[in-house]
Structure 1
Amino acid sequence: MKKRRVLFLWSRYSGYMAACWKRLSAIESMDLEVVAIESNPSDRSDPTFIPKMLDGVTARLIPHADADDYPRLKRHLPDETPDVLVVSGWQHPGYVQAIRQNHFGSSALIVCSDNPIRHTWRQRLGILKIRWLLDRASRVMVPGDRGYQLMKSWKLPDEKIAKGLYGVDELSLKPCISERESNGWPKNFIFTGRYCQRKGVDIMLEAYADYRARHDDPWDLVCCGRGELGTLLQSQPGVIDRGFVQPERLNTALANASAFVLASRSDAWPLSLVEAAMAGLPIVCTAACGSSAELVRDRFNGRVVPTANRLALSDAMSWIHANEAELTEFGRRSSELANAFSAHQWAERWADEIEDICRNCE
């Protein structure tokens, strides 16, 4: 089979994307290169992943400013024109300008979007600004149903939209299930993500305090992350702040948890939820979490609660506590739902889409 040259112009790289790119690179017909934004340790909202996780991927890490400025971006771009260009949305002006300036010539284009449908005027009018980009694209990749509904509201035809934008590293996460069962099911909640308003960390802490007051034997709340609300975690009874955890250590944290909690006010398609599900954890999350549409069935493998509702979140944590005997089954169901979003499935899905696009362009 003919090799297909594929160039990803990406935002900041992550553990889950590194795993996906490695799987795609391993497919014989794929010749993959990645240009991505480097981590910024001085940015408190940046998870600061280590570049070593990209070993095995042909990748160039660039400053954020260079992704936003086409003249500076050009020096990072490969000389060889790709068969397929993948751009991570339209948030980086340099990437978009490179396409507008026809830098990549006749390359087929895949545009990625994890924006969920919100039925706002801003969204309805936003299409006017990017219509040319979506018209230029051979495919628009979205994570799941909420992203698909947005593209349909923008009148994109079905054949142009594909679900499956993201995947997670099942090889590191699946062993959490057997480890948890071998060592005995722990008794604590876990949150992984940025300590910020958007992730609802303040609401989560208030709900946890309510939950804790209801029970004589409350479980701890383990938090893994960093961000501007980090000070709220200090000196809170039962709250353990682990700080930011690199992907190679995330499986240990998830293996030692009972249930995952995410209280986001707004969250397009949180991958932390997908990783927790793949690791076999019951999920408690708000309806604002886009990936809950694919990964959480209420009272089947967790709870989906109204957004920004402290009492509902506290009730859900108490429900998990009260159903301790069912946690193994809840976790098994989470993992089954997450299988569709493994890095292996991601690579197979993307290879098929890329091959289909290339054949149609020949």
Structure 2
Amino acid sequence: MHIVIIWQRFLPYHVARLARLARRLAESGPCLTAVEVASSDDSYAFPGAFPKENGFEHVCCFPGSSYHAHTSDGIFKAVSAILENIRPDIVFAPATPFPEGMAAVTYRCRSATRVVMMDDAWEHTDRSGLLTRFIKRQIHRNIDVAFIPASSHREYYRNMGFPEDRIVCGVDVVDNEYFSSAADAARNKGKELRSELSLCKNYFLFVGRFLERKGIEDLIDSYIAYKTAAEDPWDLVCVGAGPDMDAIRKRAADIAGIQVVGPKYGDSLCLYYAFASVLLVPSRSDPWGLVVNEGMACGLPVIVSKGCGGAKTLVLEGENGWTYEPGDTSALTVLMQRANKLPPGSLRRMGDRSRAIVSEWSLDRFVEGVLAAVKLSRRSAAGVIADFFVKLWKGHVIIT
């Protein structure tokens, strides 16, 4: 059996998932090819180095260029050509809004292959109208399996045309072992590293792209209110980059206690997770929010907006953190005050609970999801209307 997995661009968590899958497949025989559309993009600023020793074949359609520098037609044709050349038995691909996703579905319609859609959209993030949803449901009839993050997303995919027995979970995971060990190693050098990074004893941490939908303006509003009321306020450290970076830096410059440190990756990022007291994820709208996984793997309590798709699954109220309605800055302020008043021992116990919860969402969970999808048969013929929309729609290039 030949398995192909396609993503726009391979970020560190993609590579970790693929490497773990390749290790498991090496025991049973299937061949794995990972297809990367382009080696960079305009959404994420991760460094582009790809490890050479990873246990799977790596093919890049547009090496040395950005995904967003190409047209949807160009991406569709490039991915289609690779699939025609490889002729896989099963293809795991992004959702149908994207040209690489539609290339996989179109290839399925002219071959005997099966297609698994990897997606993490849900009711809160899908703002499409009735007509668009109707077309999606029709196209989905030509997709064999939906590979989604967790059961919290199941109802949405049932409503989008997938039978219950064709939905598998585990698509959104990170390398928990890496984050946990890197954070612990940093804590073992506590005083020295804190001094180098100019970090205070206690601070809230934000990690993410500086975009309106990530809620960072809401976070700053809440922090101002929190700082005004708290007797011994913690700092707020913001890690990341994005289109709103300059505006956030300018606003934060006049607020004592806020540090905007810019983008950090890998071991450098883990230093900020290691010494934080609580991770804040204020997203107004987010399909999942992998920073929640990362922070929990590092042993942090979390405060997460319900606009974040991972909140229902990863946050147990009062056990490892709290959730609140997206955009409710007053509620976020109250939760920051609550965390601030907890003794260190309580915060540590919540952090330990975070690690226990996220351990259920490891790289192995991704592998089990892939293997479960591989076992499912090809769906029956979708019909003329479904096939028509597959021919009509080729996806579009968007910045997420």
TM-score (normalised: structure 2): 0.80
Instruction: Give the CA deviation at 1:101.
Output: 5.0
The CA distance in 1 between the partners of 2:2 and 2:215, in whole Å, is: 41
In structure 2, the partner of 1:100 is 106
Partner residue in 1 for 2:309: 290
Q: What pairs with 1:263-302 in structure 2 (closer than 5 Å)?
A: 263-302=282-321
Give the distance between the partners of 1:119 and 1:15, measured in 2 at CA: 24
Residue of structure 1 equivalent to 2:144 = 138
- Indicate how the Cα distance of structure 1 residues 181 and 252 shifts in structure 2: closer, same or farther if over 3 A, else same: closer
Q: 1:329 aligns to what? A: 349
In structure 2, the CA distance between the partners of 1:309 and 1:96, relative to structure 1 (3 Å rule), is same
Which structure is richer in relative contact order (CA contacts within 8 A, separation 6 or more)? 2
Task: Measure the CA separation in 2 of the matches of 1:297 and 1:339.
Answer: 14
Label 1:358 to 1:312 Cα distance change in 2 as closer, same or farther (>3 A).
same
The alignment yields a C-alpha RMSD, in angstroms, of 2.7
Preserved CA contact (<8 Å) 1:301 1:331: yes
Q: Distance in 2 between matches of 1:53 and 1:310?
A: 41
CA distance in 1, matches of 2:211, 2:127: 26
Once the two structures are TM-superposed, the CA of residue 39 in structure 1 deviates from its matched residue by 5.0
- Paired with 1:306 and 1:289, the residues of 2 have a C-alpha distance of 10
SS at match of 2:233: coil
Can you give the 5+ residue segments of structure 2 that lack an aligned partner in the other structure?
192-199, 381-400
- Structure 2 counterpart SS, 1:174: helix
The residue that corresponds to 1:33 in the other structure is 33
Residue 338 of structure 2 is matched in structure 1 by 319
**Inter-partner Cα distance in structure 2 for 1:298 and 1:165:** 24
**What SS does the aligned partner of 2:120 have?**
coil
Checking the alignment, whether the CA contact within 8 Å between 2:166 and 2:376 is kept in structure 1 is: no
Q: In the alignment, which residue of structure 2 is the partner of 1:58?
A: 57
Q: Give the direction of change, closer, same or farther, for the CA distance of 1:98–1:286 in structure 2 (3 Å limit).
A: closer
Give the Cα–Cα distance (whole angstroms) in 2 for the partners of residues 223 and 101 of structure 1: 43
- The count of residues paired between Structure 1 and Structure 2 equals 355
From 202, 217, 222, the equivalent of 1:202 is: 217
Cα distance per residue 1:64-103 (max 9 Å; x no partner): 2266532344455572211110111112225414532558
1:311 CA drift (Å)? 1.4
What is the distance in 1 between the residues matched to 2:158 and 2:229? 45
Shift in Å, 1:50: 2.1
Paired residues of 2:152 and 2:313 also in contact (CA < 8 A): no
Counterpart mapping for 1:247-266 below 5 A: 247-266=266-285
- Matching residue's letter, 2:58: A
**Residue 134 of structure 1: CA displacement?**
1.8
Q: Does the 8 Å CA contact 2:133/2:160 hold for their aligned counterparts?
A: yes
Aligned to 2:165: 159
Query: How far apart, in 1, do the equivalents of 2:2 and 2:110 lie?
Result: 12
> In structure 1, what residue type is equivalent to 2:249?
L
Cα contact 1:98–1:104 (8 A) shared by 2: no
Q: Are residue 357 (structure 1) and residue 340 (structure 2) matched?
A: no
Structure 2 Cα separation of the partners of residues 7 and 17 of structure 1: 13
Distance 1:94 1:16 in 2: 19
Q: Is the 8 A contact 1:15 1:49 kept in 2?
A: no
Question: Any stretches of 5+ residues in structure 1 without a counterpart?
Answer: none
Cα offset, 1:254, TM superposition: 0.9
Answer yes or no: is the 8 Å Cα contact 2:79–2:103 preserved in 1.
Answer: no
Counterparts of 1:8-47 in structure 2 under 5 Å? 8-27=5-24, 28=26, 29=28, 30-38=30-38, 40=40, 43=42, 45-47=43-45
Worse-matched range after superposition: 24-33 or 286-295: 24-33
Give how far 1:177 is off.
Answer: 5.8
The alpha carbon displacement at 1:358 in A equals 6.6
Are residues 54 and 163 of structure 1, via their aligned partners in 2, closer, same or farther at CA, if it must alter by over 3 Å? farther
- CA–CA distance in 2 between the matches of 1:360 and 1:26? 29
Equivalent residue number for residue 225 of structure 1: 240
DSSP-derived class of the 2:214 partner? coil
Matched residue of 2:259: which SS?
A: strand
Cα distance in 2 between the residues matched to 1:93 and 1:178: 41
**1:170–1:121 CA distance, 2 compared to 1 (3 A):** closer
Offset of residue 180 of structure 1: 6.8
SS at structure 1 position matched to 2:31: strand
Alignment pair present for 1:190 and 2:205:
yes
2:299 aligned with 1:304: no
CA change 1:323–1:176 in 2 (3 A) is farther
Distance 1:279 1:337 in 2: 12
- Contact 1:193/1:225 (8 A) holds in 2: yes
In 2: Cα distance, 1:54 partner to 1:320 partner: 43
Range moving further from structure 2, 252-261 or 99-108? 99-108
Structure 2 contact 5–33 (Cα < 8 Å) conserved:
yes
- 1:95-130 alpha-carbon deviations (Å, 9 max, x no partner): 414532558721111012211124978355433212
C-alpha change, 1:176 and 1:246, in structure 2 (3 Å) is: closer
